[in-house]
Structure 1
Amino acid sequence: MTSTDGEEHMSDQMSNAGVATTPQAPNGPGYAAQPPAGYGYPVAAQLPSGKATASMVLGILGLVLIPIILPIIALCLGISAKRMADRGEGGGRGQAVAGIVMGIIGVVFAAIGMTVATVQAVGAF
């Protein structure tokens, strides 16, 4: 009995029980192939982390209220929040950068203020 190419192909796909089998997807059994990036539902943006928000708020308050302590805290929180945002662990990268910038400005203003106060105090003697 001779078989044609179609019969050989069909017999390759049949298992011992006589049920046709299909090759498994590269993602494993029972999983459909993933669509390429850029398709499907849009991904929601991550919400800003609390560190980023606190950094920005403390940076603003440090420029106005307490120019020595708050800018240093804003700078530390901003650096930490920016690193988290860069790793993808949270959002608010812009707020973190704003906190860093205002923290640096606050520290510089505090240093200038202390220098001026020291020079005036020494000049008074």
Structure 2
Amino acid sequence: MTDQSGGPSGATGMRAPGGPGYGVQPPAGYGYGAPLPSGRATASMVLGILGLVLIPIVLPIIALCLGVSARRMADRGEGGGRGQATAGMVMGIVGIAFAALGVLVATAQAIASV
């Protein structure tokens, strides 16, 4: 009888390459992809979306502030989610612009009706 290495049974106790068992594990924190997004980045994106739909004055301002903070954290390497933070910032800016445009239109209509 032969073992997995192809030699006689019990000759050296070595396993064949690719046989059962575990290979060499990489060092901790190495090669596992990008860091997870921070909570600020996720909150910025969610509030940016909700600010465009539900509360167009308050939520976009909060989304913009959280987005700036989360991008700075990602740039320092303290967390991931730079793309989510950027999306939250952009939606916050767009939401603020829509709110300002709405206020201007409402003011113009009020002045025109007098």
Normalised by the shorter chain, which TM-score bucket? 0.7 to 0.9
1:45 positional shift: 1.8
Provide structure 1 residue ranges, at least 5 long, that are not aligned to the other structure: 1-38
**Larger gyration radius, structure 1 or structure 2:** 1
CA RMSD, Structure 1 to Structure 2 (Å): 1.4
Identical-pair percentage: 74
Give the distance between the partners of 1:95 and 1:54, measured in 2 at CA.
9
Give the distance between the partners of 1:47 and 1:117, measured in 2 at CA.
43
- 1:20-61 CA-partner distances (Å, limit 9, x unpaired): xxxxxxxxxxxxxxxxxxx97514321100000000000000
Structural mapping, 1:39-50, within 5 Å? 41-50=30-39
TM-score by length of 1: 0.67
Matched, 1:65 2:65: no
Q: 1:113 aligns with which of 102, 105, 110?
A: 102
- Specify the alignment match of 2:112 in structure 1: 123
Q: 2:79 aligns with which of 79, 90, 98?
A: 90
- Specify the alignment match of 1:27 in structure 2: none
Matched, 1:102 2:66: no
